[in-house]
Amino acid sequence: MTVTVTDDRGRQVALAARPLRIVSLAPHATEALAAAGALDRLVAVDPNSDYPPAVHALPRITAFPTPDLEALAAMRPDLVVLWGAGARQPVIDRIEALGIQVFVSDPRRLSDVVSTLDRLAPASPSPAIARAAAREFDRTIATLRERYRHAASVPVFVQIGLRPLMTLSDRDSIGDALRICGARNVFGELAGAAATVGAEAVIAAAPSLIVSTEPSRSREPWQGLGVLAPRGSIRLAWIGPAIHRPGPRLAAQIEQLCTMIDAVRGPDRTHVSVRTLR
């Protein structure tokens, strides 16, 4: 039985049967495959795949700048899932020359998470699990959209790096997440998906909340500049890096993000307790 799936490049990926051995070279794809019911078909993942916990026991294969083709061939996969940013055509051609099918996954919007699960369903040993996961994600997002549809806007700075100080624009799925929560990414209009910014530019953008995905030292440089509450007007909160990973866990992460933003939105901001997330 031939199974055909369409990837994010619009390529028709034809498999002789549902794949028994899958290599995922992108963290969001690893999570999507697990949610789609194909966790037990994963035989190797990229070094950054860390969820679900079971993948920690799997072999690791270098994904960037070029996949380790020797290690990949040794795993004898039926299917390799590549992230779009690293899926240059010469790389795809070299993998396919080994007799391995390639699925390019490059979700950029929340709707793409649902689409990915739906399109991976035919490659799953349990297609119904994949489709159920897609519908559950869709329901959660729809509920949050309705809940915060009329909420007052809150300006937010998303901090993903410290040295250098880095942020994400609305080209990343974080933009959709913030809009659902009734918030605004203060650097949403930047041209690239990620960018380096200066602390002075952040302060000038006047965020009410800094959301950091790096809890260890994310108070720098803000604490020294005196801009953090209660002395200053900006609150700081932490959330897991999955908030900008376009996979199935994103719905729960957005729900937590909305709670944090809603707390800052409260009338008495000096006594708000912002939930810390890891």
Which tokens is 162 given? 């410290």
Query: What tens digit of pLDDT does each residue of 176-212 get?
Result: 999 999 999 999 999 888 899 999 999 999 999 999 9
Q: Beta strands of the chain (E only): which ranges?
A: 3-6, 12-15, 22-25, 42-45, 79-83, 101-105, 154-159, 161-162, 165-168, 183-185, 194-196, 209-212, 235-238
Residue 276 has pLDDT above 80, yes or no: no
Residue 96's pLDDT is: 95
Domain boundaries, the chain: 3-141, 151-271
Residue 273's pLDDT is: 34
pLDDT band at 15 (very low <50, low <70, confident <90, very high): confident
| Residue 163, CA distances (Å) to 22, 86, 205 in order | 36, 24, 20
The sign of the dihedral angle between the CA atoms of 208, 168, 47, 14 is positive
Residue 39's pLDDT is: 96
Please list the alpha-helical segments (H only) found in 98-170.
110-120, 127-147
Which of 129, 110, 144, 86 lies closest to 245, judged by CA? 110
Q: Mean of the per-residue pLDDT values for the chain?
A: 89
Of the chain, the end-to-end C-alpha distance in Å amounts to 43
Query: What tens digit of pLDDT does each residue of 143-174 get?
Result: 999 999 999 999 999 999 888 999 999 888 88
Residue 53 has pLDDT above 50, yes or no: yes
Arithmetic mean of pLDDT, 14-37: 93
For the domain made up of 3-141, the CATH class stated in words is: alpha beta
pLDDT band at 218 (very low <50, low <70, confident <90, very high): confident
* CATH number for the domain formed by residue range(s) 151-271: 3.40.50.1980
Please report, rounded to a whole number, the percentage of residues in the chain having pLDDT higher than 90: 71
Interatomic CA distance for residues 102 and 195, integer angstroms: 30
Identical fold for domains 3-141 and 151-271, yes or no, is yes
Residue 267's pLDDT is: 57
Lowest mean pLDDT among 64-68, 77-81, 110-114: 64-68
Which tokens is 2 given? 């031939």
